[in-house]
Amino acid sequence: MTRPATGLASGPVPLLSVRGLARAFGGVQAVRGVDFDIGAGELLALIGPNGAGKSTCFNMINGQLRPDRGSIQLARPEGPRELVGLAPRTVWRLGVGRTFQIAAVFGSMSVIENVQMALLSHARELLAFWRPARARHRSRALELLAAVGLADQAEHPVATLAYGQVKALELAVALAHGPRLLLMDEPTAGMAPAERGALMALTRQLVTERGVSVLFTEHSMDVVFAFADRVIVLARGELIAQGSVAEVREDVRVREAYFGSGRLHGAPVNTERAA
Amino acid sequence: MTSASLLVQILTGLAGASTLFLTGAGLSLIFGVTRVVNFAHGSLFMVGAYLGWTAGEWLRALLPGSAAGFWLATLLATLGVAALGALLETLILRRIYRAPELFQLLATFAVALVLRDGCLWLWGAEDLLGPRVPGLTGALSVLGVPFPRYDAALIVIGPAVLGLMHLLLTRTHFGVLIRAATQDREMVSALGVIESRLFTSVFAIGAGLAGLAGALQLPREPANLGLDLPAISDAFVVVVIGGLGSLPGAFLAALLISLVKAGCVALGTVELGGYSFAFPRLTLVAEFIVMAIVLVVRPYGLMGRPEGALRGPAASPIRPEPETPRSRALWGLAIAALALLPWIASASPYTTVALVDVFCFALFAMSLFFIMGPGGMHSFGHAAYFGLGAYGAAIVLKATGWSMMWGLLIGPLAGFVGALIFGWFSVRLSGVYLAMLTLAFGQIVWSIIYQWDAVTGGSNGLTGLWPAGWLSTRYPGVTPNAAYYLLTLACVGSAVLVLRRVLDAPFGLAVRAGRDSPLRAESIGINVHRIQWMAFCVAGTAAGLAGVLYAFSKGSIAPDLVHVGRSIDGLVMVLLGGVESLAGPLIGAAAFTLLQDSAGRSFDYWRAATGAAMLVVVLAFPQGLAGLARSIRGRAKA
C-alpha cells in the first residue's frame, strides 16, 4: 500500500535532499539516519509523536544544530549546495526562511519595522549608519504586510498585536527575502482552531503564488490532512512512513507509533489526542 | 624563595580564599533564587564590619579578655546584617522583582549609597581599628616562617561555612526549596510555596553571610567607609568565576584567585631576556585576569549553568522615541541657548565651567546608553574607554608636543581600539556575565594606568594638559572658559547627533534586533555578534572623545578617571535619565553631575540624598526622569 519509507519525492529534481541525517544528544540517538526530499513547490508535513526527532531535524536543516552525520543539499541554479556546517544566517541567505514554534519577532519595533529589518538584511544594508531606516523598503514591506492582512497595523507596535497576528507577521518576515524553501516549526501551535485554518490557508496561498516549498512540523492532524501535499512520519528518530495524506492515514506503522496499536477498526484518527 | 616561605604564601592564599568566599557566597545565593544582582552586597559587608566593631567594644567591656566576646560580636553582626537584609528585601526589592534587570541594579545601588552614608552618620569618617582576638594574636611558626594565627583560623572558617551551607541546602526542606527556586522559581511558586517568605529568608541568609565576612575581616583591616566597593567587586568576581548561584563554584573561584595572587607574590620580579617584570604588581588585577580568562573559556563560570527557566511576560522592551519635527525644534533651541550662554552668563563664570563637566559626562552617558539601551549590553566598565581617550591623547600629546586639536582625533581612536579588543570578547557573553567581563576589562585598564608610572604617571596621573592657546585665552564680555566651552559644546553636540542618527539608521535597527530576539535576528541573516561588536566600537569612540575633552578641561588626569566608581556613575546617569528615550542619558548626566557638584560641596550626606532620590525614581517612576517628563506631558495633553 505504501512505498518503502525512504521519503524521496516523486518530482524531477528535489529542492532539498536530506541523506543519512543523524544526531545524538549524550547517549540518546535523537535522529538516526533520515533520508527525504522536498520537491519544488511542495508542502511537506513532518509529523511524529513527541520525541520523534522533528525539531532536531528542523534545527539541523536551519543550521542551528550541527548533525553528527549526513548531508543536506539545497538545489541552487549554480548546482547543489551543502548546508551542513553553515550558520543559520548563511542558510537564510541561500533562500531558506524560517518561522518558530513560539513566534520570534522584534518586540520593540513596529510591525512594518520588523519586515523592513528582514528587507534591509537581504539588501545587505545593515551597515548603513546615516540615512534613517524608516524610509527604506517601505513599499515592499507594505506589500508583504498587505499580503498577510496586516496593512492596517503597519505602524502599530508589535506588542499590541494578537498572537494570531504575530504569527502572520512572522510569516511576512519569513517571506521577505523571497525564499525558495520555508521551514515552519509548528506554525499553528498556541492558536485557536478557527485561526489555525485561516493561517494555513493564507500560507498555502502565499507559497503557491510565489512557488515556495514548505516543510512544516505539526501536531494538529486536521491541519496536516487539510494542507499537506505529502507527509513524512518520524518515530524514535527514524522515518517510518511517507506518502500522500490518505496513504499515511491508513499506514499501520503510523498508527502504532501514535497509539501503540495498529487496530483502530477504521475509527478516524483522533487528531487532538495525537497532539 | 625558600620552600617554607612558599608554603606560607600558599597558606596566606588559603586564608584570602576563605574571606573571598564568604564575601561572595551570599551574593551567589541571593542571585540564584531571586535573580537580583545585589549591588548593596558590599555595603552589607561594610555594615557587618561596623556592627562587629560596636558589638565587640560593648562585649569587651562585659567580658574583658575573653575570646568569646569576639565570636559573640561576630555572631551578633551576622544576625544584625541578616535582619537588615530582610528589611531591605521587604521594603524595596520585593517591589521590583518583575522590573527590568537594570532597575533592580539601580535600586540596589541606591541602597548601597544610603547604607554608606548611614555608616558615616552612625560611626563617623574615622577608621575604627578592630580588636585583636584573644587566643589568636601573634603568629604561628611554619617551618620557621611566621604565619598569623588569625589567618590560620580563617583557613578553617571558610570551608566550615561552605560545609554548613551545603548541609542546609541538601539536608533540609528549606534547602530543597532554595535549590528548586534556583532552577525554576515560578514552578516552585505554582506548587504553593509562598514566594515572598522564601525570598525574604534567602535574602536574610545572603546578607548575613556578607555581615559575617565583614565582621571576620575586622581583626585584619579597620572598619572604614571604603570597604564597600572593593568588597562588591570581589564578590562579583568570585560569583561570576564560580558560576552564578553555585556555592562550591564560588569557593573554587576564591581558591583559584587567591592562589594565583599568592603565586604572583611568590614569583617576585622575574628577569627575562633583559626585561624585568614584577609579578607582585599583578596582584591588583589577578582576579580580573582570572575572570576574563575563565569567562572566555567557560561563559557561565566554572560550575555555573545557563540561567534557569524564566517564564511569564519579559520585561517591556525598550523602544526609543522616534524623532518628530517638534523634538527636532526642541533640540535645536536647546543647543542654540547653550551656545549663547557664555555671553548671557558672563557675570557668573562658574556656570560654563560646570557645564563643560556636564557635556563631557552627557556624551559619556550617551555612549553607554548606546550599547545598554538599544544594544541591551550592560557595560560595567565603560570608564575604560573614557580613560583610554583621556590618557591616550594626553600621553601622545605630551610625547610629541602636538597641538591639543590632534587629541580630538587620538582620544576617540584610543577609545575605539579599546572597544575593538574588549568588545570582541564581551559580545560573546550576555546578561550579568557580560557586565562582569566588561568590569574586568575596566579594572585591567585601571590597574595598568595606576601602575605604569613611567608612561601614565601612576597614581599621580598626568598634569599640564593645556588646550591650544586660542582655547585658553580670556575674551572680553564672555565667561573665562568660553572658547573651550564652545568647543566642547560643538564636539559633544555633534557626537550626540551622530549617535542619534546611527540609532535611527539601519545599523541602529539591527542593534535593536539583536537585543529583541537574537534567534530571529540570526534567522534573517543578521550576524548579531558582529553588529554588537561594532556597536561597542561606536560607543568606545564616543566615550574616548568625552574623555579627551574632560582631560583638557581639567588640565590634569588621575587614575580615578578609569576607576569602577566612574563606570558606576555612568550607569547611574543612564538609569536616572531612563533608558527609553534618547534624551534620558543627557538629562540623567546633567542631573547627576550638577547634583554631585552642588550637593557634594554643601551637604555631607549627598550620597544618601542621591540614593533616596534614585529609589523614589525606581519605585515610583520606573521609566526614569525622561519617562516622568513624558508622562507629565501626556497627562497635560489629555
Cβ-Cβ contacts under 8 Å, B515 against chain A: 108
Contacts of A89 in chain B (CB under 8 A): 522-527
Candidates A171, A127, A177; CA nearest to A150 is A171
The DSSP string of A196-231 is HHHHHHHHHHHHHHHT-EEEEE-S-HHHHHHH-SEE
More confident position, B626 or A17: A17
Contact between residue A98 and residue A174 where contact means Cβ atoms under 8 Å apart: yes
- Closest residue, chain A, to B524 (C-alpha): A118
Confidence of residue A271 (pLDDT cuts 50, 70, 90): very low
Secondary structure E strands in A52-203 = 69-74, 81-82, 96-99, 181-185
Residue A197 has pLDDT above 80, yes or no: yes
pTM of the model: 0.84
Q: Which residue of B has its CA nearest to A113?
A: B509
Q: Which residues in chain B touch residue A113, judged by CB atoms under 8 angstroms apart? A: 509
For residue B465, which amino acid is it? L
Distance CA B50, CA B62 (A): 19
CA distance linking residue B182 with residue B164, whole number of Å:
18
Nearest to A108 among B512, B525, B531 (CB): B512
pLDDT number for residue B192:
78
Instruction: Note whether B318 contacts A: Cβ–Cβ < 8 A.
Output: yes
At position A208, the amino acid (one-letter code) is: T
Yes or no, beta carbons of A87 and B522 under 8 Å apart: yes
Give the pLDDT confidence score for residue A140 in this predicted structure. Answer: 93
**Residue of B318, B505, B524 lying closest to A130 (CB–CB):** B505
Contacts of A130 in chain B (CB under 8 A): 501-502, 505
ipTM of the complex: 0.86
Q: Write down the pLDDT at residue A269.
A: 46
- The answer to whether the CB atoms of B523 and A134 lie below 8 A apart is no
- Only one residue has cell 525574604, namely B200
Facing residue for B506 by CB, picked from A108, A120, A177: A120
Give the number of other Cβ atoms within 10 Å of residue B559's Cβ.
Answer: 22
Block residue for cell numbers 582570572: B290
**pLDDT at residue A43 greater than cutoff 80:** yes
- Torsion sign across C-alpha atoms B361, B364, B367, B373: negative
Chain B residue numbers with beta carbons less than 8 Å from the beta carbon of A121 are 510, 524-526
* Strand arrangement of the beta sheet that strand A69-74 belongs to: A28-38, A16-25, A69-74, A81-82
Predicted local distance difference test score (pLDDT) of residue B531: 96
Comparing A133-142, A170-179, A244-253, B205-214, the range with the smallest average pLDDT is: A244-253
Which residue among B501, B521, B523 sits closest to A98, beta carbon to beta carbon? B523
With 0-12 / 13-18 / 19 or more C-beta atoms within 10 angstroms meaning exposed / middle / buried, residue B180 is middle
Q: Flag if B502 and A134 touch (Cβ within 8 Å).
A: no
Residue contact A125–B506, C-beta within 8 A? yes
* Interface contact flag, B527 A89, Cβ < 8 Å: yes
**Mean pLDDT by groups of 10 residues along chain B of 638 residues:** 78 88 90 83 95 90 80 93 94 81 80 93 88 76 80 90 90 86 78 83 94 91 87 86 86 90 81 75 79 83 66 46 78 89 84 90 94 88 95 92 88 96 89 82 88 85 82 78 90 93 93 90 93 96 96 90 86 79 85 80 77 80 67 65
Q: Given this model, what pLDDT does residue A261 score? A: 53
Cell 518558530, residue?
A100
CA distance B638 to B623: 20
Asked if B62 and B247 touch (Cβ cutoff 8 Å), the reply is no
C-alpha–C-alpha distance, residues B55 and B49, integer Å = 10
pLDDT of amino acid A18: 92
- Supply the pLDDT for residue B229: 82
Taking every pair of C-alpha atoms in chain B, what is the biggest distance, in angstroms? 82
- Span A52-111, pLDDT tens digits: 888 899 899 989 899 999 999 999 888 889 999 999 999 999 999 999 888 889 988 999
Cβ–Cβ contact A102 with B under 8 A: no
Pairwise CA distance, residues B12 & B148, whole Å:
9
Q: What is the Cα–Cα distance from B562 to B547, expressed in whole angstroms?
A: 10
Other C-beta atoms closer than 10 Å to the C-beta of B7 total 15
Please, is B576 exposed, middle or buried when counting C-beta atoms within 10 Å of its C-beta (0-12, 13-18, 19+)?
A: buried
Interface residue B502 vs chain A (CB under 8 A) = yes
- What's residue B309's pLDDT? 40
Any A CB within 8 A of B530 CB: no
Taking CB atoms and an 8 Å limit, are B526 and A136 in contact across chains? no
CB contact under 8 A, B504 and A132: yes
Residue of chain B whose alpha carbon sits nearest to that of A158: B317
Question: With an 8 Å Cβ cutoff, are B509 and A116 in contact?
Answer: yes
Enumerate residues 6+ apart whose C-beta is below 8 A from A113: A106, A133, A134, B509
Is the confidence at residue A37, as pLDDT, over 80? Answer: yes
Task: Give the tens place of pLDDT for each residue, B584-616.
Answer: 889 889 988 888 877 766 777 878 887 887 788
On chain A, the residues whose CB falls within 8 A of the CB of B509 are 109, 113, 116-117, 120, 133
Across the interface, which of B318, B504, B520 has its CB nearest the CB of A133? B504
Task: Name the closest residue on chain A to residue B318, using Cα atoms.
Answer: A108
Q: In angstroms, rounded to a whole number, what is the distance separating the alpha carbons of residues B156 and B137?
A: 16
Task: Tell which wins on pLDDT, B271 or A31.
Answer: A31
| B324 near A CB under 8 A | no
CA distance A273 to B321: 47
| A191, HSE (Cβ side, Cα atoms, 13 Å) | 26
Q: For chain A, what is the largest distance between any 2 Cα atoms, rounded to a whole number of angstroms?
A: 68
User: By the 8 A CB rule, do B437 and B425 touch?
Assistant: yes
Q: CB neighbours of B282 closer than 8 A, spacing ≥ 6?
A: B264, B289
Using a CB–CB cutoff of 8 Å, tell me whether A133 touches chain B. Answer: yes
Query: Would an 8 Å CB–CB cutoff place B319 in contact with chain A?
Result: yes
The whole-angstrom separation of Cα B375 and Cα B367 is 11
CA nearest to A89 within chain B = B525
pLDDT given for residue B1 in this prediction: 57
